[in-house]
């Protein structure tokens, strides 16, 4: 946890350790976000229903494609359906975020309320996401339980504890990486009032390149090896394949290394853009 | 002791000009024309601890821009600003812990949660010890009479209740310097009075320095001895409110209700008649001979009721601005 804090706390370009005193404030942010979700129970549940419907549709497509013991690009029915189910869970952990609100907070000038407080706005959003994700994970687990109960899918349970540990670690890396990418998209708000257009394109791009729709290794080899260098691969495909135990040691090592590099790169870009953005914000005032 | 000092403060904006319509939008993609707007232009003043100063000026005069420079939200184009011996724009924690900015049109409260949740978050942000937090919160919510609605979601509160909560959220850390931008905007008269009385009490109880901008002259009259009048980014007047009135509105208004019709030709003798429609007659007279003229009127005419009033602040300020037009 201190790693996250480490990355987010920057002052005048220098990275500082966050003091314990401030942890309480961030914890309160997470708690408040949690209660906020509960304030809109109906829309949150409808959002979850949408996610569940999506899981159902992807599940059944692959169910029929791989039925009658057909092996599809090296995927048996069990591995493919496990990929779909674990992938859905991974998406819930990594992609649930409140950082989409940053753009409008900038545009409407509510950012000012944060700037006049002795408090880091980026940390604030990170901990908001923490609260939001916690809620999504709980719902995701409940839904999957119901899903298993109804459909009895051919699911591969991973028994290797090391792999499970690495899987959890990759989720943590993935959500940090996605946080920086997502705030970068929102920072468009510093220069434009139309942040939603780019964000929709971004969603489509991520959906395709992350492997949320299909496992990336069914693509032609040359394309697939190129994809390994994109940050999006690490948002769904990498953690899910880790869980399945289908990656070699070398692939696992390389994956974590590239993920780490992407986190540092995105972190630096995000902080750089944030500072540039603040400069224009404080030059114009809103 | 001077708490706030600005020295030749200027803030200029680059505003890009766009011709109207779709063609204009396309054109502006390729060649943008910029214009410099001097929102604040060479402004110097100094404010002492415990003072309550009103910023007066029409829309776009530069009041909010000045407040934003003072609270560290805007980087000044030219000149120096010092608040509590800090340079605001550096936004040091030690500085931010001692100030507060309340913007009537923006809220910091979490919309879907009770105000209490925002307060608790602010407690952690400003690192207020629990004992002090409870004492200050108790005190503030008592004064504003909101004790029983602290646990109701903000979205269910009325505008006035919300504004009170905003004020509490901004004052929990007992700021030494308070910037208020239109704190009573959109509130009804009773609520305006409550907020004014509260701010006055706060100023006295905590010896806080307050700068206030408002369109309601009532706010300024009730709270500020000293006013700074700005327009087009420049200071037009800095001094006591009472002096401003005496200098720029050296008259009183006599309102008379007549019991019988009178000869209208006689009216101009007494002063400038502002309106006459029987039985009401309103006349503007010089400040110094108010009593004399009033007694004359009482002697000569059948008067049912007579009052002598000070000029309306709104009129004074409007008169002041029209006398100081740009150019």
Q: Residue-wise pLDDT tens for chain A (286 aa)?
A: 444 544 555 444 444 455 666 788 899 999 999 898 888 888 888 988 988 898 999 999 889 888 877 788 888 889 999 999 999 999 999 999 999 999 989 988 889 999 999 988 999 999 999 999 999 999 999 999 989 999 899 889 999 999 999 999 999 999 999 999 999 999 999 988 877 888 899 988 998 899 988 899 888 889 988 998 999 999 999 999 999 999 999 999 999 999 999 999 999 999 999 999 988 887 765 5
What interface predicted TM-score (ipTM) does this complex get? 0.83
A11 touches chain B (CB under 8 A): no
Residues pairing with B9 in the sheet: B43
B98 touches chain A (CB under 8 A): no
Is B121–A28 a contact, with Cβ atoms under 8 angstroms apart?
Answer: yes
CATH of B2-246, one of 3.10.640.10, 3.40.50.300, 3.40.630.30, 3.40.50.1100: 3.40.50.300
Provide Rg for chain A, Cα atoms: 20
From the list A139, A145, A49, A36, the residue with the least C-alpha distance to A92 is A139
Q: Which residue has the tokens 């109804």?
A: A150
B-chain residues near A28 (CB < 8 A): 120-121, 124
Question: For residue A150, how far is the Cα from the chain centroid?
Answer: 28
Structure tokens that stand for A123 in this block: 């940390």
For the entire predicted model, the pTM comes to 0.84
Helices (H), chain B: 21-30, 63-70, 93-96, 115-125, 130-144, 159-171, 189-206, 217-223, 241-248, 290-300, 313-323
A-chain residues near B106 (CB < 8 A): 108-110, 112-113
**Could you say which of B93, B103, B117 has the minimum Cβ distance to residue A32?**
B117
Contacts of A41 by beta carbon, 8 Å cutoff, 6+ apart: none
Residue A104, min C-alpha distance to chain B (Å):
13
- CATH 3.30.70 placement within chain B: 250-310
Is A112–B126 a contact, with Cβ atoms under 8 angstroms apart?
Answer: no
B120 touches chain A (CB under 8 A): yes
What DSSP string describes B259-308?
Answer: SS---GGGGGGTSEEEEEETTEEEEEEESTTHHHHHHHHHHHS-EEEEEE
- Give the max Cα distance, chain A: 65
Is B96–A118 a contact, with Cβ atoms under 8 angstroms apart?
Answer: yes
What Cα–Cα distance (Å) separates residue B281 from each residue in A180, B264, B265, B270, B294? 71, 10, 13, 12, 13
Is B124–A24 a contact, with Cβ atoms under 8 angstroms apart?
Answer: yes
What is the rounded CA–CA span in Å between residue B199 and residue B203?
A: 6
A221 touches chain B (CB under 8 A): no
Structural domain B250-310, CATH architecture: 2-Layer Sandwich (3.30)
- CATH 3.40.50.300 placement within chain B: 2-246
What DSSP string describes B85-114?
Answer: TB-GGG--HHHHTTEEEEETT---S-TTSB
B28 touches chain A (CB under 8 A): no
SS3 B181: strand
CB A190 within 8 A of CB A106: yes
**Could you say which of A25, A39, A109 has the minimum Cβ distance to residue B124?**
A25
Is B106–A40 a contact, with Cβ atoms under 8 angstroms apart?
Answer: no
B-chain residues near A24 (CB < 8 A): 124
- Give the max Cα distance, chain B: 76
State the virtual CA torsion across A117, A123, A124, A127 in degrees, nearest 10. -150
CB A16 within 8 A of CB A9: yes
From the list B114, B119, B200, B196, the residue with the least C-alpha distance to B149 is B114
């Amino acid at each position: 946890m201190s790693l996250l804090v480490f990355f987010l706390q920057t002052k005048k370009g220098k990275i500082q350790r966050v003091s314990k005193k401030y942890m309480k404030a961030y914890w309160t942010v997470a708690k408040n976000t949690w209660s906020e979700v509960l304030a809109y129970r109906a829309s949150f549940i409808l959002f979850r229903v949408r996610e569940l419907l999506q899981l159902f549709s992807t599940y059944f497509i692959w169910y029929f494609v791989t039925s009658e013991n057909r092996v599809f690009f090296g995927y048996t029915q069990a591995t493919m359906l496990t990929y779909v189910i674990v992938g859905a869970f991974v998406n819930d952990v990594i992609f649930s975020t409140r950082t989409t609100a940053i753009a409008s907070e900038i545009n409407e000038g509510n950012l000012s309320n944060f700037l006049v407080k002795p408090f880091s706005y980026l940390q604030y959003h990170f901990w908001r996401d923490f609260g939001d994700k916690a809620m999504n994970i709980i719902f995701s687990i409940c839904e999957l339980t119901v899903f298993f109960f109804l459909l009895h899918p051919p699911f591969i349970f991973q028994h290797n504890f090391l792999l499970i540990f690495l899987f959890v670690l990759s989720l943590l890396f993935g959500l940090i990486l996605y946080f920086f990418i997502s705030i970068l998209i929102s920072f468009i708000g510093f220069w434009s009032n139309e942040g939603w257009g780019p964000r929709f394109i971004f969603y489509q791009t991520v959906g395709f390149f992350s492997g949320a729709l299909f496992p990336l290794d069914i693509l032609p080899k040359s394309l697939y090896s190129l994809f390994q260098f994109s940050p999006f691969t690490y948002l769904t495909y990498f953690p899910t394949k880790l869980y399945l135990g289908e990656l070699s040691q070398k692939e696992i090592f390389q994956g974590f290394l590239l993920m780490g590099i992407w986190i540092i790169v995105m972190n630096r870009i995000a902080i750089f853009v944030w500072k540039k953005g603040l400069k224009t914000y404080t030059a114009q005032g809103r | 002791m001077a708490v706030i000092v600005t020295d030749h403060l200027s803030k200029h904006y680059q505003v890009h000009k766009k011709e109207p319509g779709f063609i204009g939008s396309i054109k502006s993609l390729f060649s943008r024309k910029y214009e410099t707007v001097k929102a604040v232009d060479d402004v110097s003043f100094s404010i002492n601890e415990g003072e309550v100063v009103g910023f007066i000026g029409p829309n776009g005069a530069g009041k909010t821009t000045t407040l934003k420079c003072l609270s560290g939200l805007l980087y000044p184009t030219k000149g120096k600003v010092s608040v509590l011996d800090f340079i605001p724009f550096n936004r040091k924690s030690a500085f931010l812990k001692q100030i507060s900015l309340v913007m009537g049109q923006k809220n910091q409260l979490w919309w879907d949660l009770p105000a209490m949740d925002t307060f608790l978050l602010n407690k952690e942000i400003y690192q207020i010890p629990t004992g002090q937090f409870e004492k200050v919160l108790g005190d503030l919510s008592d004064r504003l009479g909101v004790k029983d609605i602290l646990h109701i979601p903000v979205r269910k509160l009325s505008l006035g209740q919300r504004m009170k909560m905003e004020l509490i959220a901004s004052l929990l850390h007992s700021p030494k310097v308070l910037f208020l931008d239109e704190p009573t905007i959109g509130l009804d008269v009773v609520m305006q009075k409550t907020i004014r009385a509260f701010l006055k009490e706060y100023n006295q109880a905590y010896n806080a320095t307050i700068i206030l901008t408002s369109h309601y002259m009532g706010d300024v009259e009730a709270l500020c001895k000293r006013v700074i009048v700005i327009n087009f980014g420049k200071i037009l007047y800095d001094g006591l409110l009472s002096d401003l009135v005496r200098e720029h509105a050296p008259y009183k208004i006599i309102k008379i209700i007549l019991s019988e019709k009178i000869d209208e030709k006689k009216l101009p003798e007494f002063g400038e008649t502002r309106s006459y429609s029987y039985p009401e007659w309103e006349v503007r007279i010089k400040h110094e001979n108010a009593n004399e003229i009033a007694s004359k009127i009482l002697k000569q005419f059948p008067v049912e009721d007579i009052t002598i009033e000070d000029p309306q602040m709104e009129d004074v300020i409007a008169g002041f601005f029209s006398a100081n037009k740009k150019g």
